Structure 1
Amino acid sequence: MSEWRLSEGATPAEVQAFASLEAVFATQGREITRDPLSEVILCELDGQRYYIKRYLGAGKGLRRFIGRPRVKAEWQNLKHFIKWGVPTAPVVGFGLERKGWAFSRGALITRELPATEDMAQLAQRNAPCLRDGAWVATVSAQLADATRTLHEHNFAHNDLKWRNLLVNDAKELFLIDCPAGSFWWGPFLRYRIIKDLACLDKVAKYHLTRTQRLRFYLQYCGHDKLDARDKKYLWRIINFFEGRE
């Protein structure tokens, strides 16, 4: 059984080039990443570049038969982002194929966001923008809004690292790559929220000032100043990875 869909806004060129899952797996491009379960290639069509993520497995053991395959989770999560107004990469096509009850393969295509760089790369090369207070304030406010939106929908990204945050020349922020994101409730949601915030702070503490990090948290929670609950929360965030780094 094969399921393949193109987004409503797909161009005629995209409809022709990515007409089926077979066509997507036959597409050639520059390899970006590869692991035992998936590969990402970059290809170009009529001057527009695309990232094609192709999954060759759903996971080990029962994951092939039970639960949501990672490729399906990823495209559903990006569609949630779009619905909630969280900026992300435009989705062009998505789908999967099963043999019997077992996952066989799947793919997700997104349009490239032009003139963007992920924040992990900015940190790695110690980019001057990270020392520009106005730049940090603009991007931090967008990140606080996006993160709060996810959490207000009982959703945790679960891999909210700087490498999954893209920023363009206009200082616009985009969230990408979310195959592990899911909905949670109660104490499980609170734990995942703390993990999301701790993942962000894991790099921020080396490149941003304490004032900038505090401002992000206040913007995220919508407070003018810290209360007793905030201080307890911050302690858990700051110490989340203690002994694991």
Structure 2
Amino acid sequence: MRFWWVNRQHPASEVAELFGDIDRVFSLDGELITSDSLCRVLRVSAGGRRYYVKRYSGTGKNLQRRWLGLRRWLGSPRVRAEWRNLQAFRDWGIPTATLVAYGLERRFGGFTRGAVVTDEIPATCDLAQLARANDSRLRDRCWVAHVARQIADMARTLHDHGFAHNDLKWRNLLIDGGSLPTAYLIDCPSGAFYRGAVLQYRIAKDLACLDKPARRLLSRTQRLRFYLDYAGHARVTDDDRKRISKIVNFFDR
């Protein structure tokens, strides 16, 4: 059984030819960006545009996460979660990459392979790259405040919907080159909906992932301002203090 979708509204004429079915996508050559036992990411250029092709051909990185081989039949494939999560981001008004094509293939009911193709967001760089390069923009308080407010809004929107990203790290946040830049949220194959105490734990993890590199690069005042923007509060409440303690100590436990 195969399921495959192509964005027929996409303006580029080469989309149907390049990404028209799963066999074509898995036969593509391009610049290798990342590769592991679960998936390979290629950057493909055509018609003056660049596309990211994420190809999944496994069900987990180790035996435990594959549920002793049962995940192929019982679990929801990560590739499906990835395209659904990107669709949700767009529905919620979160800037993200445009879906070009996606789908998967099953045999005898078990997942065998799948792929997600997205447009490149031009003239962007992820926050982790800026941090490694010690980019001067991270020392510009106005620039940092503008970007941080957008990321706080993104995180609050996710969490208000009962959704946790589960990999909300700086590498998954793209920033364009504008004087008032736009932030984009990408790559979310492990995000999911939760409830109750599990959701609160996942929220703390998301915020801790954002705060971990911020400790080295931003001031305490900037980090607190981010949290207040996220919480929608003018001042820190007693509940805020408890949550902040969980966030800053999350990776120490």
The question of a shared fold, defined as TM-score above 0.5 by the shorter chain, is answered with yes
The residue that corresponds to 2:104 in the other structure is 96
Do residues 70 (structure 1) and 71 (structure 2) align?
no
Give the deviation of 1:44 after TM superposition. 0.8
Do residues 176 (structure 1) and 186 (structure 2) align?
yes
Q: Which amino acid aligns with 2:188?
A: C
Do residues 106 (structure 1) and 114 (structure 2) align?
yes
TM-score scaled by length of structure 1: 0.97
Counterpart among 160, 163, 173 of residue 155 in structure 1: 163
The residue that corresponds to 2:212 in the other structure is 202
> How many Å separate the matches in 2 of 1:184 and 1:7?
30
Deviates more, 1:210-219 or 1:11-20: 11-20
The residue that corresponds to 2:130 in the other structure is 122
Residue segments in structure 2 that go unaligned for 5+ positions in a row: 61-65
The residue that corresponds to 1:9 in the other structure is 9
> How many Å separate the matches in 2 of 1:121 and 1:159?
16
The residue that corresponds to 1:233 in the other structure is 243
Q: Superposition RMSD on alpha carbons, in Å? A: 0.9
Secondary structure of the structure 2 residue equivalent to 1:159: coil
> How many Å separate the matches in 2 of 1:209 and 1:82?
32
4+ aligned runs moved over 3 Å, structure 1: none
Deviates more, 1:14-23 or 1:2-11: 2-11
Per-residue CA distance 1:184-243 (angstroms, 9 max, x = gap): 000010000000000000111110010000000000010000010000110000000015
The residue that corresponds to 2:252 in the other structure is 242
**Count of residues paired in the alignment:** 243
Q: Which amino acid aligns with 2:9?
A: G
**Structure-2 change in CA distance of 1:8 and 1:222 (3 Å):** farther
The residue that corresponds to 2:46 in the other structure is 45
Give the deviation of 1:125 after TM superposition. 1.3
Secondary structure of the structure 2 residue equivalent to 1:54: strand
Q: Which amino acid aligns with 1:235?
A: S
Give the deviation of 1:27 after TM superposition. 1.1
Give the deviation of 1:8 after TM superposition. 4.1
Secondary structure of the structure 2 residue equivalent to 1:31: strand
Q: Which amino acid aligns with 2:19?
A: F
Q: Which amino acid aligns with 2:93?
A: G
Give the deviation of 1:57 after TM superposition. 1.1
Per-residue CA distance 1:7-49 (angstroms, 9 max, x = gap): 2422332012211000111111011100011000001110000
Of all paired residues, the percent bearing the same amino acid is: 52
Secondary structure of the structure 2 residue equivalent to 1:241: helix
TM-score scaled by length of structure 2: 0.94
Secondary structure of the structure 1 residue equivalent to 2:81: helix
